[in-house]
Structure 1
Amino acid sequence: MTAILGAGAKPMADVLDQTEVDALLAAVESGAVDSAAEDVVGRETRASREIQSYDFKRPERVSKEQMRAIEGIHESFARNLGAALSGFLRTIVEVRVATIEQLTYTEFIYSLPNPTNFNLLTAKPLEGQICLEISPLIIYPIIDRLLGGASTELFIPQRPLTMIEQRLVGRITGRALAALTESWSDLVEVEFSITEVESNPHLVQIVAPNEIVVVIGFEIKMGGRAGTMSLCIP
């Protein structure tokens, strides 16, 4: 303590003398101090209940209630899309919501394969753009199915889609937009349309790199094949 106080420091002025100590003990014995102590404990308990952790480096723009609403809308979308693809491809296609989280746009982009099927959407009358990405792991089996193949031992090439393949995939994304429109209609009437299709997601920037976006991840299963689909909403 002497090192902390420094040379020439004086003793603390608030040290109780014997008379004050006796008065304090008498107050404790009479119960006069208990209520004040309980008030302090009560305030501390309430304060401890109200404290919540918050990461200032990763602020969340969307509340938990809004995230639950978004999840409900896209669970409906997954069911509608699964039914639409099952009828179109004449085989059972399962689509389910796998994840829903808030990420920076950069984190979302770096989580995607490259090349991939990366679609930029508009949702009029809403402003901005939405990203719909479908993994090659399920895109190529779907293309193979459309061309009459069994896709049981299909090789997944690491290349962008050809023009013919893009037109075939357009029949899938068209059904995805129809299912998306139907699911969103409970919240707001929107018209989804594709404005651009890219194979390299790193070439597309719809918002600032550090801006928070909501990313809904889906799992698509068809036969013995499975892949992912991601919807990014700024």
Structure 2
Amino acid sequence: MAEVLSQKEIDALLSAIGDGDVSVEDMKDEQKETKIKSYDFKSPKKLAKDQLKTLSIIHDNYSRVLNTYLSGYLRVITEIEVSSVEELSYYEFNNSISNPAMIAVINFEPLPGQIIIETSNRLAFTMVDRILGGDGLYEGENRDFTEIELTILSRLVKNIIAYIPEAWENVIELSPYLEKIEPNSQFAQIVSPNETVALITLSVKIGEIEGLMNICLPHIVLEPIIQNLSTNFLFSGIKKEFGDEGKEELERYVRKAELESSAVVGEAYITVEDFIFMQVGDVIKLNTKVDSELELKVGGKTKFLGYPGTYKKNMAFKISKVIEKDEDEYDE
């Protein structure tokens, strides 16, 4: 877009032309000059601006989901947002990592190759300290991780990458998994040094501790879906209507939900003294008969009546009656 001049600049230009300091012909020749843009052949650009913008949108969604998870898991207010998205060589990224650091190498199935999630030591130690019940104000030395700390971080990273498919669902269905955690960047060579990568930098604040989390996506990993990395494709995959297919999918998920059920054999009232001195073999008299129907509670509410027994050497409960209750009783 052409530069817009202010009124003061316009007056100064007219004055210069009137005094002869600036020639109109020189201005025309200057406009005809070809604009040259420098290009580094050692670092060719493989990702368009729209593709980088799409990656920013994807990880903006991921950061919001991750923010909710870490706030609950670490029991502290956590703020995560996308700080920058840029294209550079893997050598530049790898060379910028301080040693030691938490470098998680993640297989990005079904896409080829691996990606890297890198976090500074201070941020990693803060999360470990919060998980172990500390205040998270880590100000210790910059040292290597112990075996116990690596085990804790591995479990945390597995939980973190479990939310990646949700952020990428409109582009591709992913099944990422953690391969290893490397504290030294020299042993995390997932691609050649000259390979182009997309680097997404997340700004992370855990309580009072701030740090950066870098997500390195090599171009060789993104190449199979490079045409799908556009804002038009991203938003076209979002379902606008919740039709019959969506209802059936929701019903399938609801049917898989687990509910706690318990059969109430009976009730009895005893003194605290009897309870304290209770021994193996003592008999407690219940308020139900041997041949009476028992209550089967689902989610803490009585839903069925029936009889206890066994089925193929397993404990079982035979339902004899379904208890119908008014909706008002469930709203209490």
Please give the TM-score of this superposition, normalised by the length of structure 2: 0.54
Query: C-alpha separation between the residues in 2 aligned to 1:74 and 1:180?
Result: 9
Corresponding residue of 1:190 = 174
Decide which of 203, 212, 219 is 2:203's aligned counterpart.
219
**1:112 corresponds to 2:88:** no
Per-residue CA distance 1:115-141 (angstroms, 9 max, x = gap) = 111111111111011011111121111
Query: C-alpha separation between the residues in 1 aligned to 2:78 and 2:121?
Result: 16
Query: C-alpha separation between the residues in 1 aligned to 2:71 and 2:56?
Result: 22
Mapped contact 1:215–1:231 kept (Cα < 8 A): yes
Query: C-alpha separation between the residues in 2 aligned to 1:226 and 1:219?
Result: 8
Q: CA deviation at 1:48?
A: 4.4
Corresponding residue of 2:159 = 175
**1:135 corresponds to 2:120:** yes
Secondary structure at the residue paired with 1:191?
A: coil
Return the letter of the residue paired with 1:117. M
Gaps of 5+ in 1: 1-40
Q: What is the percentage of aligned positions where both structures have the same residue?
A: 35
Query: C-alpha separation between the residues in 2 aligned to 1:156 and 1:166?
Result: 17
Query: C-alpha separation between the residues in 2 aligned to 1:98 and 1:157?
Result: 27
Q: CA deviation at 1:195?
A: 1.0
RMSD in angstroms over aligned alpha carbons? 2.0
Q: CA deviation at 1:54?
A: 3.0
Mapped contact 2:43–2:194 kept (Cα < 8 A): no
**1:159 corresponds to 2:143:** yes
Aligned residues: 191
Query: C-alpha separation between the residues in 1 aligned to 2:184 and 2:55?
Result: 27
Mapped contact 2:203–2:212 kept (Cα < 8 A): yes
Query: C-alpha separation between the residues in 1 aligned to 2:73 and 2:179?
Result: 24
Q: CA deviation at 1:53?
A: 4.3
Query: C-alpha separation between the residues in 1 aligned to 2:86 and 2:141?
Result: 29
Which structure shows the higher helix fraction?
A: 1
Per-residue CA distance 1:83-121 (angstroms, 9 max, x = gap) = 110111121111111121111111101111101111111
Corresponding residue of 1:124 = 109
